Chain A
Amino acid sequence: LLLMESFQLKDNIERVNKIKASLRLYQDDKEHTFEAKAVEESIKLLQTQVQLEKDYAQPFTGLSISSTVYKLITINQSNRATKVRGDFKMPDKRFWWIKLRALVEIRDWDGVATL
């Protein structure tokens, strides 16, 4: 039942399909509403990442939400990062932590100062 999602490999499209399959399994089971929601989120994330890969020609898939945001800031795409943050309703606290670390990483001291 639960091992289905470990098959989420290789091709992105195939992955989405696989994840969807496991999503159905989770939804069938009332005890796994949390997992079902998480899997839904992961599909959304994957789709976002595929879009980002197209836009910036950089690998994004496989990253977590936090690392995605982090990476966006490091390649100077703060606006896009804020958008991703909004899409996934990331708590403020974590977002600012990420932003701070990312800005330090790229030595954007002006950015840090304006936080």
Chain B
Amino acid sequence: MAIAAQETDDATNKPRFCLPDLFQDHGVEKIYHLQPGPLETDCKSLIYICRPQINYMKYIAEHIHTHTKDSRSGPYTYSLFFVPRRTALCEKVLEDEGVFGEITKGEYHLDLIPLEDDLLSLEWDSTFKELYLDQDTTSIYYAAKALMRLQGIYGWFPRILGKGDYSKALCDMMLRMRREMAVDDLDASQTTQMSQTIDSLIIIDRSVDMVTPLCTQLTYEGLIDEIFHIKNSFVEVDAALAGAAPAPSGSGTASSGSSAAKKKKVPLNGGDKLFGELRDLNFAVVGGLLNKVAKRINADYEERHNAKTVPQIRQFIGKMGTLAAEHQSLRLHTSLAEQIMEYTRSDDFNRILEVQQNVVAGIATSKEPEYIEEMINKQVPLVQVLRLLCLYSLVNNGVKPKQFEFFKKEILEAYGFEHIQTLENLRRLGLLTKQVTTKNPYSLVRRSLSLIVDEVNEHAPNDISYVYSGYAPLSVRLVQCVVQRGKNQPGGGGVKGQGLAGGNGWKGFEDVLRMLPGRTFDEKQRVDDGQPMSTKSKLDRIMNNDVLKNEHRSNGQPRISLVFFLGGCTFTEVSATRFLASQEGGQRDFVICTTQILNGNTLMESLVQKVPDLHATS
């Protein structure tokens, strides 16, 4: 009999873990959340499943210490599983705590967690900060491992494209792992075939496109994330809002029952049909759709009056179940939408949005800095101020020196001097910089990739820009460049459905790509590569390469492109990528991988210097 003490406190609580049934099937008696303080339990066998983080090690050590002191409670056995792998650092902590020998240790290789049919995530929340600020490349290793595993299952990806220095590092690491595999175990590397279904992997580095996450997301799912913060595909809302009855797919909610009574966790995923329909839409149209669905459900209910004969009634009863579920989810989404509506109607929201739109569109007025100043004066949360300020700085390639000093001073005085460090973090990441030249790469990129689309039809979108009501996320636009080849470019062929393995890759976009930070690369993998030819990322050389014939013609099946967002992506980008797939008319599907889901707020929060509250104890 065992107990699983699982860590949940900071967001690493994975959906898969939320299925208590699954644990129970394996004889798990109780599930505890890993937290500081002694663990009170009458079970003798404990299993810990957690991330290799030092504070978790400390908690576990504390549990063990209290147990050993308390002689009454007999011997315990401890097992500890690291997700996704053990680290020397954690083992050292356990050693120092003197509990190393008492624990059986193992690894649970849970790397890519499917959040959705087409969305995989490492759920490694701190990736962005670790990678770009601390320059800790552990997460690249995890990502490479995870992708290698995918390759092990689906075969080698014929082509790997990417943009950004860390993307390149990831790609190199994968190629190296493959060579290592060939040395270790020739058979295994030979037997793995080229992938039939996945014809390319596109890696986009977060640092390539920092503008997108800083904009306010305007899709339904994106807005939910902005306002309520979706955690591992669960969202916490007031219990009253979710309705008294259990939420749509009840299996997930049960596990959170122990957490606060007021808040209720509601799963948000494709299992909820209505949400599946709504999630990728621009919020402007959600209301109308909800109305339609409500009418339909109502009509379905009304049918009962028409049911006269017994079989008709039986048929209706049969439908009742699904109807009730639909009703339930409708209620949830209506109230969610209502709350969002309240938020989006507020003056502040609209002004921020207006400023944002002007900034990304490059319409320069003096109003934007003024508004940011006003925000500081009103003491709105720092995260919001920084988000807008960084956006402003990014788009204009820095803030004018005088303004730069002014804002820095204002922020420090209004929010405290500890933010010297915050500002330094932002500067190091290039998010908030002093303008040195007036040359502005962003405006060129914007023009050549037509990031701003003036006429947007939110009801029947024809371009990915609908997700931000006019701004097309740069990252997804890049993906589109590779896949659709110059659809929006003059003279671009836009040959749909052409095998990507033989496609032109970045060709035609060299100029644009040169203006974005980081290296561009395009590698091909072959079956017989004992030593995979690692074409150096010299673009011109690749251009001269013969077009590799797509040896494995997929037979009518949609080809899949794997899109990997290194450093996290937003829900809106996910939506936009899905939209790309829908444009391909069944020829191509996208599977999105990311290290974590983020939005502008979480992004900023990870960079803000925190000071312990001095008065908390006194």
Show the binding face of A for B, using Cβ within 8 Å.
2-3, 5-6, 8-9, 34-35, 38-39, 41-42, 45, 59, 61-67, 70, 88, 90-91, 93-94, 97-98, 101
With beta carbons under 8 angstroms apart, the residue of A5, A35, A101 that contacts B379 is A101
With beta carbons under 8 angstroms apart, the residue of B409, B414, B421 that contacts A5 is B421
* Contact-residue bracket for chain B: 20 to 34
Q: Answer yes or no: B413 CB below 8 A from chain A CBs.
A: yes
Cross-chain contact A35 with B377 (CB below 8 angstroms): no
With beta carbons under 8 angstroms apart, the residue of A42, A59, A67, A88 that contacts B615 is A59
Cα A62 to Cα B613 with chains together (Å): 7
List of 3 A-B pairs having minimum Cβ-Cβ separation, nearest first: A42-B417, A64-B416, A97-B377
Residues from chain A with a CB closer than 8 A to the CB of B615 are 59, 62
Given A66-B414, A88-B413, A94-B414, CB of A34 within 8 Å of CB of B376: no
| Total CB contacts across the A-B interface at under 8 A | 72
Given A61-B614, A88-B413, CB of A38 within 8 Å of CB of B420: yes
Cross-chain contact A93 with B413 (CB below 8 angstroms): no
Cross-chain contact A66 with B405 (CB below 8 angstroms): no
Cα A94 to Cα B375 with chains together (Å): 10
Given A34-B408, A97-B377, A101-B379, CB of A62 within 8 Å of CB of B417: no
Residues from chain A with a CB closer than 8 A to the CB of B614 are 9, 59, 61-62
Given A62-B611, A94-B376, A94-B377, CB of A5 within 8 Å of CB of B413: no
Cross-chain contact B417 with A41 (CB below 8 angstroms): yes
Cross-chain contact B420 with A63 (CB below 8 angstroms): no
Cross-chain contact A35 with B420 (CB below 8 angstroms): yes
22 contacts between A and B (CB under 8 A): A2-B421, A2-B424, A3-B421, A6-B418, A6-B609, A9-B612, A34-B405, A38-B408, A42-B412, A59-B618, A62-B611, A62-B613, A62-B614, A64-B413, A64-B417, A65-B414, A66-B413, A70-B379, A91-B410, A94-B376, A94-B377, A94-B414
Q: Whose C-beta in chain B lies nearest to the C-beta of A95?
A: B377
Shortest Cβ distance from residue A77 to the other chain B in the assembled complex, whole angstroms: 19
Q: Quick one: which of B393-435 are within 8 Å of A by CB?
A: 405, 408-410, 412-418, 420-421, 424
Given A2-B424, A97-B377, A97-B378, CB of A65 within 8 Å of CB of B413: yes
With beta carbons under 8 angstroms apart, the residue of A63, A65, A93 that contacts B373 is A93
Q: Whose C-beta in chain B lies nearest to the C-beta of A12?
A: B614
Of listed B405, B408, B413, B415, residue having the most chain A CB within 10 A: B413
List 18 additional contacts besides A2-B421, A88-B413, A98-B379; criterion CB under 8 Å: A5-B418, A6-B421, A34-B408, A35-B420, A35-B424, A38-B409, A41-B412, A41-B417, A59-B615, A62-B416, A64-B416, A65-B413, A65-B414, A66-B415, A67-B379, A67-B416, A91-B410, A101-B378
Cα A35 to Cα B405 with chains together (Å): 10
Cα A65 to Cα B410 with chains together (Å): 10
